[in-house]
Structure 1
């Protein structure tokens, strides 16, 4: 099953990006863009037009909370999954802050996210996408 769901991955750990990309491809999601730099990922929002953002919280320069605040200011209207190697209290606090910014948070997961949990979150993201059709991204997929 291949869906048209556009997924943007943001994590400063390139191994984690590769792992997530492989998991997504294995689950039938091929329209994936991986970024290890938050500023490039911000630029990708209007260009790539992701339906789902999977975002690490702990990153240098611009952490996940700062990135999500900027994404909300850029009027990102897709769904968000938060990832972190930190404890669950940090994940819950980040989830609350992101929702306060007006973002649709599907979940907050510890790394590495289990394949079954990822599949469930992707199904939720697809339902959200179906409920709110969006125009194709400007500039296409890179």
Structure 2
């Protein structure tokens, strides 16, 4: 499964990438820039996007809107160190935009919770041909 991790904190990205790698043979990409993450999503949409809400350039809420507008059909997990109310609002927004939201989780994300989210993402069907090529994602 292809996983894109998006967080502006390198340490958090390292921890998440190590946990994902320890939970199976996943192809993991990491990004600290929401704008570069959008480029990656356009070029080769991952099966799972794990996204922090507090990002520079384009925050996680705006990123969700753009991703949804461009028909991303992979799964999404939101992360935040902010108040639980912010996570709940982002969760409602993602669902309203029709994204396949698997969870909105407080940081730090527990390994067991991540394992369950990865299993859910792997079990999700994708549209035929989704996840690769131009025009498949934002």
User: Is the structural similarity TM-score above 0.5?
Assistant: yes
How much does 1:61 deviate?
A: 1.7
CA distance in 2, matches of 1:133, 1:72: 15
Root-mean-square deviation (Å): 1.4
* Unpaired stretches in structure 2, ≥5 consecutive residues: none
Q: 1:31: which partner in 2?
A: 27
Q: 2:95: which partner in 1?
A: 99
Q: TM-score, normalised by structure 1?
A: 0.88
How much does 1:28 deviate?
A: 1.1
SS across alignment from 2:85:
helix
How much does 1:133 deviate?
A: 5.3
Deviations 1:43-98 (A, max 9, x none): 11131220110000011121100011111112111110000001211111100011
SS across alignment from 2:30:
strand
CA distance in 2, matches of 1:115, 1:21: 11
Number of equivalences = 133
Deviations 1:2-47 (A, max 9, x none): xxx1111110111111110000111114301111000110011131
Q: 2:133: which partner in 1?
A: 138
SS across alignment from 2:104:
strand
CA distance in 2, matches of 1:49, 1:134: 13
Q: TM-score, normalised by structure 2?
A: 0.90
CA distance in 1, matches of 2:126, 2:40: 20
Q: 2:77: which partner in 1?
A: 81
Q: 2:42: which partner in 1?
A: 46
Q: Structure 1 residues 64 and 29, CA, compared in 2 at 3 Å: closer, same or farther?
A: farther
CA contact (8 A) 2:6 2:34 kept: yes
Which is bigger in relative contact order (C-alpha 8 A, separation at least 6)?
A: 2
SS across alignment from 1:34:
strand
* Unpaired stretches in structure 1, ≥5 consecutive residues: none
